Every structure is written in structure tokens, then in C-alpha cells.
Amino acid sequence: MKRLFAVIGLGRFGYSVAESLVQKGCEVLAIDRDESKIQAISDIATFAIQCDVTDERTLKSVSTQNVDVAVVSIGENIEASIMIVQTLIEMGVKSIIAKAMTAIHGKIMSNLGVTEVIYPERDAAIRLAHRLASPKVLEYLELAPGYSVEEVVVPERFAGMSLEETEIRENHNLNVIGIKKQVNRMIRGQLKKEDAFNFNPSSGDRIEKGDVLVMIGKKHDLDLFSNSA
């Protein structure tokens, strides 16, 4: 049985969440008070409903209480997002994910009892700053305080070596969980470069210049490695 998600608020973030959930085979109840946003998503979402999302009776009338997870993505209007979360909790929705714009906003949401608070703008800013400060880092994802996953371009000194020969784990306390390479493939009669991903590489796998290492470890150790790359 497919899970049903309610996405309340269809700004850029909410629209992207709804679209991605549908692509993954989930059913989505998309709700917004703006008719143009409902029209934009009507061909994508399972259900698309225009209504006043701050009104309790309206939310109940569209069966929001029956969803498995509700995503409240109205972060800009703090008062409205708080009202919606309160209503969802009173309706018995067990899993609520709420977007927050500030730490205080997030703390209020947590105190109300939401399952998870997310900070899309803050997190995007942190990832951008991390990449700007460490040009060799292509992507960054924090897993827990002090620990993250990073994509780092292979340092020239490691080109042509096997993972075992690089001694990354021994010298840097980091685990390589993947290697991204560019390979040449014939597509419609044309030779093109495509990314190939080696999941869970072995110690004997070789890395070349231009490859990307996907590594997991403490943020401090990752910073030291990327800055020395």
C-alpha cells in the first residue's frame, strides 16, 4: 500500500518535495491557498486542493488527518505554520515535518511536538559556504553533529594508487565509501563522458586523476584532508 503524504504550502521547497515524492511512487495530497500553485502541481500530485490551510475545519474536510506524514513547508509565515502544526497535532497526525526559518521558529515547532524540524535555507547556505571554503569539496552532507559525508576530488599525489596504497583510513581516519569516475560511452553513435559510481570499493581498486572520493568521517578529519588535497 502506498504511503500518503500531505505537503502543505507549495513554494519552491514544497513543490520540490511533492514532485520528488510522486517520482518515488508515493501518493501526495498537495494543499495551498494560491490557485496558481495548485494549477501548477495538479498534473503531478495525486490530489491537489486549494483551501485556507490555517482553517481547522477545512483541513479536516480534505481528510488531512488520514495522511501518513504531513510536511508543513510554510516557513515564511511563522504564525500560519504554527497554527497549521497545532491543528495537525490536534487532528492526530502522528508524523509532522515542519520547515523553519529561524532557530526560534524551529524551537517553537519542536516544543509543539513535531517529528522533525528542517532548515532548508540554512542547510543550503552551510553547504555552499563549506564548498567555497574548501574548493576541492564538491558535495557535503552532515550526518550528525561532528560527522559528515563529503565528495572530494582525488589529490594528485594519490593518482594511480590503490585505496590501500593511499592509506587514507590509517593516516586520515576516513572511510572511502564510493568512487565516482568519468567513463567514455557510445550513446546514439556519439562518444560521451558519463559518471560511473563504484559503491563500496575494495582496497585494491585504483583511483585516477579526476576521480571523486566519497568519504565519511569526522568533520575535523575531512577538513584536514580536503585542505591538504
Instruction: Convert the pLDDT of each residue in 13-60 to its tens digit.
Output: 999 999 999 999 999 999 999 999 999 999 999 999 998 888 888 888
Percentage of the chain beyond pLDDT 90 is 55
Counting residues of the chain whose pLDDT is more than 70, the rounded percentage is 97
Does residue 131 sit in the same domain as residue 111?
no
Which ranges of the chain does DSSP label H, i.e. alpha helix? 12-23, 35-41, 56-61, 78-91, 103-112, 120-133, 163-166, 168-172, 219-228
Region 87-116: mean pLDDT is 92
For 163-176, write each residue's pLDDT tens digit: 999 999 999 999 99
Q: What is the pTM of this model?
A: 0.69
Q: What is the CA radius of gyration of the chain?
A: 22
What is the SS3 assignment for 157? helix
Q: Which domain holds residue 194?
A: 123-228
Count of the separate structural domains present in the chain: 2
Instruction: Tell me the pLDDT band of 182, cut-offs 50, 70 and 90.
Output: confident
Q: Which of 118, 148, 167 is the last residue of a domain?
A: 118
CA dihedral 184, 132, 216, 179 (to 10 degrees): 10
Residue that terminates a domain, selected from 62, 94, 118: 118
pLDDT of 137:
77
Shared domain for 8 and 107, answered yes or no, is: yes
CATH number for 26: 3.40.50.720
90, 118, 146: which is the final residue of a domain? Answer: 118
Say if residue 95 is in the same domain as residue 149. Answer: no
Close Cβ partners of 144 (under 8 Å, ≥ 6 residues apart): none
The answer to whether residues 194 and 169 belong to one domain is yes
222, amino acid identity: L
pLDDT tens string 128-152: 887 777 777 778 788 878 888 999 9
CATH of the domain at 184: 3.30.70.1450
Same domain, 181 and 91: no
